[in-house]
Amino acid sequence: MNGAVVVTTFLAAGIEVIEMVAIVVAVGGTRSWRAALLGAAGGLGVLAVLVLVFGTALQYVPLAPIRLVVGALLLVFGLQWLRKGVLRVAAQGWAVGQGDEQVDDADVPADRFDWTGFVLSFKGVSLEGLEVAVIVVAFGGAADALGSAVVGAVAAVVVLAALGAVTYRWVARIPRRALQLFVGAMLSAFGTFWSVEGLGVRWPGDELSLLWLIALYALAGVGLLQLVPGWRKDPAMAGGPGGGAGMSGEVR
């Protein structure tokens, strides 16, 4: 066992695993925990098959086009959620729907599986998991200690997944309309980050750029709330005559 390789791989893979866990927790908190967890399990399953089939050849997989496609799709979904979050908070306030499992009740009936949440979680875990696999192959192969690299990566997944299991309880306490707005900002940030990386552009600070991207989108969403204060008093938003939101005031 090569201790240096274990620690190095743990730290390098940990960055990718944090992003992976953040996506799963975000999707679970705003859509459906069952769909998010099944998507994550599916992504890890596909990754395991790829590792078994291709082994060390994974280090030659071109990640740029995968980042571009997955990033573009996440950006589309993220902007849609950000828009819905702004509309709903503007119409109903921040504290509506606290503790409910799903945000889009009208879009995802309780008796139907949330395929949107599944796909988002699956894509995020698959991409980040593939990057973890490349890290393991690169670090382990360079030091002729592939087993140690695998131990470091698995430790990162287990430790950070456990932290995610703890934090989801805090996420569940956040009012779901507010959560949707900020999760939309987070997914938009991930989508922007991966799309630009897929085009071959390096971000200053690498993954640290995600922090200010998330802040930028979140501030933009909050700023939009200041531009539409009349929506909360608009009869159409409150389900009045001719209103498109229905008696519940739900913003579609």
64 close to 196: Cβ distance less than 8 angstroms? no
Q: In angstroms, rounded to a whole number, what is the distance separating the alpha carbons of residues 220 and 14?
A: 29
111's CB contacts (< 8 A; 6+ apart) are none
| Nearest CA-CA partner of 20 in 131, 116, 99 | 131
Give pLDDT tens digits for 210-236.
889 999 999 998 888 877 655 545 545
For residue 73, pLDDT over 80 is answered with yes
| Nearest CA-CA partner of 21 in 201, 168, 173, 155 | 168
- pLDDT computed for residue 230 by the predictor: 53
Q: In angstroms, rounded to a whole number, what is the distance separating the alpha carbons of residues 202 and 5?
A: 26
- Alpha-helical segments (H) within 199-252: 209-227
97-101, 106-110, 112-116, range with the lowest pLDDT: 97-101
Q: E strands along 92-222, which residues?
A: none
| Nearest CA-CA partner of 119 in 22, 40, 18 | 40
